[in-house]
């Protein structure tokens, strides 16, 4: 095809026109300017009534409410269905002046909060509510917002489906993000620092399907100011919520666990990097059935990975491809005194432990069973280095089967494979001799040096 000058000029003009239309459309994106709706940024007077009118007007028209830079003193705002508030990230600030919550919604679908800073001023909302509280909504989106000064929970969600993405939450008094009875929720790419008790809580009123995805978050310095034996102090806490995925999070300095699943069946914990956990780093406990704990890095914890409570129905797990190192013997201040401290990986029932690397576990590299609470555990193809006992396995009367095959165990000071009755050593090194005396054990092919 021959393109002459006339065709080239026409094509160029058409392209320019198309670009101009596109650019103009972007600049003229539909929305209601809060300033034109009577809002006064940086006023010392509360803006609640004017802001509520603007929210209702914008929602009724289906357009977002655009909040210019500035500080808006307000509280007890109610978001109707299709309400969308959009600010300028980092400079549009809503300051809580009192009430049940700063911003809330109930039964409102397609609510969106974007680019806003919610400042609680340290005030704690009543009845455990969140600084922002969203209930019974579908298509909810909280994106690129900042939460500071929340006296209790920063963001609380009840029976919500939607996305919580790209938010920054600093020093909430209780949890940064608390989801209860989720209906299809994704919590991704958030940054959480200095939470008072938990970073992200995914809970249900009754044990049942939940399916929340918690991915790619950064959670630092989670405290346990309310005390307890593990219900607080966790970067990610999953309770009674089944089929939850926790993946690719960067977690550091948790007062208790990096990821703690309690009565949470089919929990998947994968690809997380967890440093400086002061109790069990990755935990599946109590009445769960099914846990997959794969490809995580744990560096620094009292216990690296624990799959426990067979006595409460806790069973069925895969622990594979994890790197676990630098475990500590002593309990950290405020945590529970756990006789298993210093253990890399601890399991009890119906569990495959394979392809892991454990280094510097002063008590046990890998522990199988607790007294009679041992059933159908396979420990194969792992590397255990620099441990007290390489692999500790229960030989208490009534303990079930354990397969310990083809592991590489190096520099274990008290034996490579040792039979235990709780924490009492019962046998010599079973990797060398004596394993045949215990009908529940198969020990073979392990390389010890």
Distance (Å, whole) CA 239 – CA 246: 13
CATH of the domain at 262: 2.160.20
Instruction: Give tens-digit pLDDT for 30-55.
Output: 799 988 888 999 999 999 999 999 99
Dump strand ranges (E) for 144-258: 146-148, 153-165, 168-170, 175-180, 184-188, 191-193, 198-209, 213-215, 218-222, 234-242, 245-247, 250-254
Q: What is the pLDDT of residues 237-249, one digit of tens each?
A: 999 999 999 999 9
Query: Which of the residue ranges 300-304, 326-330, 413-417 would you say has the lowest mean pLDDT?
Result: 326-330
80 lies in a domain?
no
pLDDT at 12 over 70: no
Report whether pLDDT(23) > 50: no
Using pLDDT thresholds of 50, 70 and 90, give the confidence band for residue 7. very low
pLDDT tens string 351-362: 999 999 999 999
Residue 395 placed within a domain: yes
Q: How far is CA 278 from CA 220, 223, 239, in A?
A: 13, 10, 20
Predicted pLDDT of residue 37: 83
pLDDT in tens, 92-148: 999 999 889 999 999 999 999 999 999 999 888 777 799 999 999 999 999 999 999
pLDDT at 433: 95
CA distance 285 to 177: 22
Mean pLDDT of the chain: 92
Mark residue 253 as left, alpha or beta (left: phi above 0; alpha: psi -120 to 50; beta: remaining): left
239 is written with which tokens?
């309770």
Quote the longest CA-to-CA distance of the chain: 95
Q: DSSP class of residue 196?
A: S
Q: Is 211 left (phi over 0), alpha (psi -120 to 50) or beta?
A: left
Matching residue, tokens 């576990």: 361
pLDDT at 284 over 50: yes
pLDDT above 90 for 29: no
Q: Which two tokens mark 405?
A: 């095959």
Give residue 352's domain range: 114-122+132-448
Domain assignment present for 352: yes
- On whether residue 357 sits in a domain, the answer given is yes
Alpha-carbon distance of 277 to 319, in angstroms, equals 19
Residues 111 and 62: their CA atoms lie apart, in Å, by 11
* Residue whose C-alpha is closest to residue 295's, from 244, 236, 248: 248
Whole-number pLDDT of residue 22: 35
Per-residue confidence (pLDDT) for residue 334, from 0 to 100: 67
436-446 per-residue burial string, b: 16 or more CB within 10 A, e: under 16: eebebbebeeb
User: Residue 18 has what pLDDT?
Assistant: 35
Is the separation of the CB atoms in 212 and 179 below 8 Å?
yes
**pLDDT score of 210 more than 60:** yes
Which carries the bigger pLDDT value, residue 102 or residue 29? 102
Least confident of 17-21, 203-207, 235-239, 414-418: 17-21
Residue 319 is predicted with a pLDDT of 98
Q: How far is CA 364 from the centre of its chain?
A: 27
Q: What is the pLDDT of residues 151-178, one digit of tens each?
A: 999 999 999 999 999 999 999 999 999 9
Burial of 399 (0-12, 13-18, 19+ CB in 10 A): buried
pLDDT at 336: 67
Question: In three state form, how does the secondary structure of 19-61 look?
Answer: HHHHHHHHHCCCCEECCCCCCCCCCCCCCHHHHHHHHHHHHHH
Report the domain count for the chain: 1
Whether 362 is in a domain gets the answer yes
Spacing of C-alpha 59 from chain mean position: 32
Asked, for residue 322, whether it belongs to a domain, the answer is yes
Pick from 291, 282, 404, 408: which is nearest to 345 by CA? 282
Measured in degrees and rounded to the nearest 5, phi and psi for residue 307 equal -120, 105
Percent with pLDDT over 90 in the chain: 87
* Residue 53 falls inside a structural domain: no
Q: Looking at residue 15, what is its pLDDT?
A: 37
Question: What is the residue whose two structure tokens read 């255990």?
Answer: 384
Helix, strand or coil for residue 423?
Answer: coil
Non-local CB neighbours of 402 within 8 Å, separated by 6+ positions? 368, 369, 374, 377, 378, 379, 393, 394, 440, 441, 442
pLDDT at 21 over 70: no
Least confident of 69-78, 128-137, 335-344, 385-394: 335-344
- 246 and 236 Cβ atoms separated by less than 8 Å: yes
- Per the domain annotation, does 181 fall within a domain? yes
Whether the CB-CB separation of 248 and 271 falls below 8 Å is answered with yes
Strand pairing class (146-148; 168-170): parallel
Backbone angles phi, psi at 187, to 5 degrees: -120, 100
């Amino acid at each position: 095809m021959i393109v002459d000058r006339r065709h080239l000029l026409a094509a160029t003009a058409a392209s320019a026109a198309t670009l101009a239309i596109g650019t103009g459309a972007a600049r003229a994106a539909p929305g209601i300017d809060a300033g034109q709706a009577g809002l006064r940024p940086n006023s010392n007077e509360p803006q609640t009534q004017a802001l509520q009118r603007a929210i209702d007007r914008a929602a009724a028209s289906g357009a977002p409410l655009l909040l210019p830079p500035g500080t808006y003193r307000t509280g007890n705002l109610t978001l109707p269905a299709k309400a969308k508030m959009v600010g300028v990230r980092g400079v549009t600030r809503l300051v809580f002046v009192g009430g049940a919550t700063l911003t809330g919604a109930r039964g409102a679908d397609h609510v969106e909060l974007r680019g806003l800073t919610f400042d609680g001023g340290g005030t704690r909302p009543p009845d455990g509510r969140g600084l922002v509280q969203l209930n019974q909504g579908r298509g909810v989106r909280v994106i690129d917002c900042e939460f500071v000064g929340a006296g209790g929970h920063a963001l609380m969600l009840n029976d919500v489906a939607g996305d919580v993405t790209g938010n920054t939450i600093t020093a909430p008094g209780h949890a940064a993000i608390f989801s209860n009875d989720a209906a299809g929720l994704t919590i991704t790419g958030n940054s959480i620092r200095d939470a008072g008790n938990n970073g992200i809580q995914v809970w249900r009123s009754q044990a049942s399907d939940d399916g929340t995805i918690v991915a790619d978050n950064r959670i630092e310095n989670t405290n346990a100011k309310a005390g307890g034996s593990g219900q607080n102090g966790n970067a990610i806490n999953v309770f009674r919520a089944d089929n939850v995925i926790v993946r690719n999070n960067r977690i550091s300095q948790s007062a208790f666990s990096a990821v703690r699943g309690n009565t949470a069946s089919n929990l998947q914990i994968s690809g997380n990097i967890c440093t400086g956990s002061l109790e069990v780093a990755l935990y599946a406990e109590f009445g769960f059935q099914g846990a997959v704990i794969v490809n995580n890095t744990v560096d620094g914890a009292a216990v690296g990975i624990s799959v426990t409570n067979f006595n409460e129905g806790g069973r069925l797990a895969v622990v594979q491809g994890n790197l676990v190192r630098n475990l500590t013997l002593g309990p950290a201040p405020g945590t529970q005194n756990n006789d298993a401290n210093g253990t890399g990986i601890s399991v009890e029932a119906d569990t495959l432990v394979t392809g892991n690397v454990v280094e510097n576990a002063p008590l046990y590299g890998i522990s199988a069973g607790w007294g009679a609470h041992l059933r159908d555990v396979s420990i194969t193809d792992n590397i255990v280095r620099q441990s007290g006992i390489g692999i500790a396995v229960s030989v208490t009367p009534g303990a079930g089967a354990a397969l310990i095959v083809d592991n590489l165990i190096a520099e274990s000071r008290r034996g490579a494979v040792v039979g235990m009755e709780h924490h009492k050593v019962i046998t010599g090194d079973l990797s060398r001799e004596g394993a045949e005396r215990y009908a529940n054990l198969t020990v073979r092919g392990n390389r010890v040096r």
